[in-house]
Structures are given as C-alpha cells and as structure tokens.
Structure 1
Amino acid sequence: MRTWLSLIGAAAIVLAAGTASAEDTLRVGTEGAYPPYNATDASGKLVGFEIDLANALCERIKAKCEIIQQDWDGMIPALENKRFDAIMAGMSVTEERLKKIAFSKPYSTTPAWFVSAKDGVLKDAKTLADIQAALKGKSVGVQRSTIHQNFLEAKVPGVDVRLYDTQDDLNLDMQNGRIDAGLADSLGWKDFLASDAGKGFDHFGPGLTGKDDPLFGAGVGIGLRKDDTALKDKLDKAIDAMNADGSLTKLSVQWFGFDTSIK
C-alpha cells in the first residue's frame, strides 16, 4: 500500500476532503488553538486558514486530506514519530527547526507584537530598545516552544518569562493582571484585542519579523520529515500554483483581512 503514514489512535480528530483513495492519504497535524491560522469552533470542528489551505493543497496533489489535532509542544515529535506526515500549525521556518525537520516553501508571514495594558509598562515604548528597558524585572507571557519564546529569552534580558500552552491561556492571565505583557504573532492577538476582554490592551513598539532578527524565521511553512523529499516537491509546486493563480492570496484575505502570502 502506498501511504505516507501509519495509523493513529481513534481519538484523533479528523477532517476529510477530496475523493482520493485511502492509498493516497496526507495526514496533517495542526493545533486548533491559534486563530485565524487554525482554531476549533463551538461544535468542535477544526477551522481556519490552514485548514482550508491543507484541503486545497491536498486537492492539487490528488490526495485525501486528514487533519489531526495535536498539542503544540508535541508537534515536531509527533511528526518524527509518524503520527502524521505534515505540520500546518502557524509554524515558522527557523534555522533551529531546520536542524530537526524540513519545510515547504513558506506560505504566510506576519509580524510579532508586544502587547500590554494601554496604561501599563509599555505605554511609552516606541522602539525595541524602549521595550527592552521597560520590561526589565517584569513578567512577560509567551507560548512555549515558539519563535517568540526564543526571541524573548535571547533578546529581552532581565524579564520573568512565563510559558503558556496556548495563546488563550496567555490572554487570560494578562487580562487578569497576572503578567505585565505578552509576546505573540500579531494575528494571534487579533481576536483578543478586538474583544471586550482586550479593550484595555494594545500593541506597542515595532512589528518584528525575520528581517529584524533571524530568530523570527522566514515565514510560516509546512513542517515535513527530512526524508520526505518527494512530498516536499509536490507541496512546493502546489504552493507555487496557488500563488500564481491568486488562490493563496484570496484565502489569506478571507481569513486575515489582508494578504499574508509570500510571493
């Protein structure tokens, strides 16, 4: 049987798309807790930009698509252990991750933001240097095993780093005053800042990308095992095709409100 994956436990959450046979199945791991890249709606269904993108890419490579929910901090080990074939979970392509896994061409990029209360420790911060000075001795929340944790620990000295399993947990602690600030992708903050709970908060200083520091990576891509070169080639060509015909831009605007695709 030609397959890219062994079977997983029955508890996995699966979405199917397309009409390919079971012999042509691509299993994609996602978190389901990082909107609008990926999220879980009120009914428990996985939704988001990467869910739609995964299904579109599977259609183009003529594979049946199964999307499996996986906790963020176990994402790369689960890929290496062949629980699924690919990661689509807002995962940035970084030199550190490239030591362990391969990536497709990146398909999205957005800046990282520092967020705090409007009248909080960052209220006067305009530059990264301002932020670094204002946060000394303060508590800063970040999702564990992310590029944001790496940057915070390497480039913002003297802070009390608080690690969270999900962005929602981080938001809740900041809302309740248990941390002074947080660092995450701008899109990870989007729903919180637009909500009633986030109305007293804002982002401060510059938006930070790989152009500002290589720790932020080259954009978000599909994580793959290093020996799956044929799969990488198929997905790279499918991403190129979606860029060429405008469908990647259309999908990006649908979920983010602007074009995050990488040309």
Structure 2
Amino acid sequence: MTFAKLLSVALFSGMLAAGPGMAQDRTVKIAVEGAYAPWNFTGAGGKLEGFEIDLANDLCDRMKVTCEIVAQDWDGMIPALNAKKFDAIMDAMTITDERRKAIDFSDRYADSPNGFLVASASPLAKMPGTGQSYNLSSQPAEAEKAIDAIKPLLKGKTLGVQVSTIQSAFADKYLKDSVDIREYKTVEQHDLDLASGRLDAVFAGATQIMGTLEKPDFKTGYALVGPSLTGGVLGGGIGVGLRKDDTELKTKFNEAIHSAIQDGTAKTLSMKWFKVDVTPQG
C-alpha cells in the first residue's frame, strides 16, 4: 500500500473514532455589548471585562473550542446574529417569547430581578414595595397590585430605560399612562441623565443598578427602590442567544452551563461580580 493510501486510511479511521460532533478546533465568536457593567463592560485599555466575559471563557474551555468575544451595539444584536456576524450572544439577554420568534436560547445561566434607581433625596425614594419581590408569571395579581401602588408616585415624572429591552417593554405595558418614558441606547446614558437631573428614575436590572451604585458618582445619594420584579414581560431568565439552526452549539452550551452551575464555578463568578448569587435556582 502506498504512503498516500496509508495516510488516507489513517485519516478516515481517525474521523470514525472521533465520531460526530462539533470540531474541537472551532472558534466560537460571542457578542457582548461591552457597556452593561458588571455583566460586561469595556475596562482599561479597551479590554472587555465582567461576569459574562469570565463565564464565556469558562464555557468555551468546557466545550473545548476557541472563544472570541466581540463588542456589538445592543440594538443590532439579533439581526447581526442571524446574519452570521457571530455565533452567540451573551449580554444579559432575557429569554422572552418575542425574542424566540427570531432566535433560540440556551438554558438559563442567570436570573436577575428588576427595580428602580432614584436619587435618595427624591420623593421616589419612598416608593412602596421596596424590599418585596413579585413574579408577573406566578403572582400576576399581587405583582400588578404592587405596580399600581407606585403609579401615583410616578405621575408626571420622567423614567429612563434602555431601548429594545425587557425594561422598555415593561414600562410601555404598565407605566406609559403614568410617566414620561425616555429610551436610551445604553444604560450608561440613562444613568448620566439621572445624575444630571434630566431623569427622575431609571428602571433596569437590579444587578446592573448594583453595579452603578459602585461607581464613584453614585456611591452616595442614590438607591435601588420599589418592588423587585421578574416574570411575565420581564422574561424567564438569561440565556445564550443562538441561531435557530445551530442546534449542535446549543447542546454544547447547555452541557457547559449545567457543568459550570453544578461545580460551583458560575456561583463563584456571580459572587465576584455581583456580590450575590444570580445562578438559576431550580
């Protein structure tokens, strides 16, 4: 048998031994906004940092693929994913029925409630429901009662939300008759307008608000208030956004996510970046 034939047989045998599956030398390109601290943000020297950066690298190690993390504007993420500019989204993207019409999701890797950021000196700092948690899916009556209780206080005020988010969908559904809603491209922009007095409140993910409260300009004089809200229009947890036809990559992400949760890695990273455990419970 010639050398060429021997080489061909060896390569074919190796392929059979490896069996079906995603190539281990594959590069998986993951998009983040790079402006949603502490989930992901652009640090010193333009380096991407945060919970999802650390978690993405860990998941890629578990999947035995090369991980390339790129920054992408939030409002163009889903179209860019479907245009194959990258393979996955890890940007605190909440799983919703509306988004499932366009893309698929992995299993949850995090859960995060939502609340209001206000100036401590504002009348809104006395918002009812502070310290209480409600789920719009499992407690619809109680949650809507809590929302109704805050509407009189918000009457005539201005509320900032990030565009194309679950928070903007919530504000439009429940608060548009009570408050002037202003949409922003990034959370940093609405935080700055709150600090400058151009907004009375911000509605955002509680973990993002906690990150804001760690910044020098917000360490004093601001507070997270109001009921802690999840479910319903606010979605069912945070997962990796994927193209609908990329089923193999979805399986790999699910296996890696479950492994990272089970061995405590996801919790360790959560405590590092949020000081609380945001890993899914049940």
Q: Same fold (TM over 0.5)?
A: yes
Moved more, 178-187 or 124-133: 124-133
Gaps of 5+ in 1: 1-19
| Structure-2 change in CA distance of 1:232 and 1:22 (3 Å) | closer
Q: Does the aligned pair in 2 maintain the 1:92–1:221 contact within 8 Å? A: yes
User: 2:240 aligns to what?
Assistant: 222
| 1:33-88 CA distance string (max 9 Å, x none) | 11111011121000111111111111111111000100111111110110000000
> Per the alignment, do residues 85 and 162 of structure 1 end up closer, same or farther by CA in structure 2, a change over 3 Å counting?
same
Bigger mean CA offset, 50-59 vs 22-31? 22-31
Q: Distance in 2 between matches of 1:258 and 1:206?
A: 18
Kept after mapping to 2: 8 A contact 1:136/1:157: no
Q: Is 1:174–2:183 an aligned residue pair?
A: no
Structure 2 unaligned regions, length at least 5: 1-21, 130-146
TM-score, normalised via structure 1 length: 0.87
1:192 equivalenced with 2:194 (yes/no): no
SS in 1 for 2:160: strand
Q: Indicate the structure with greater helix content.
A: 2
Provide the residue aligned with 1:164 in structure 2: 184
Q: Which runs of 4+ in 1 moved over 6 A?
A: none
- AA in 1 matched with 2:176: P
Instruction: Identify the match of residue 136 of structure 1 among 155, 161, 169.
Output: 155
> 1:155 & 1:89 partners in 2: Cα distance?
25
The alpha-carbon deviation at position 122 of structure 1 amounts to 1.3
Separation (CA, whole Å) in 2 of partners of 1:262 and 1:227: 25
Look up the match of 1:145. 164
Task: Look up the match of 2:104.
Answer: 102
Report the secondary structure of 1:249's partner residue. helix
2:264, 2:215 → 1: CA distance?
31
Segment drifting more, 188-197 vs 86-95: 188-197
| Percent identity (aligned) | 45
Q: How well do the aligned residues superpose, as a CA RMSD in angstroms? A: 1.6
User: Normalising to structure 2: TM-score of the pair?
Assistant: 0.82
Q: Which residue of 2 aligns with 1:201?
A: 222
Aligned to 2:90: 88
How many positions carry a matched residue from both structures? 241
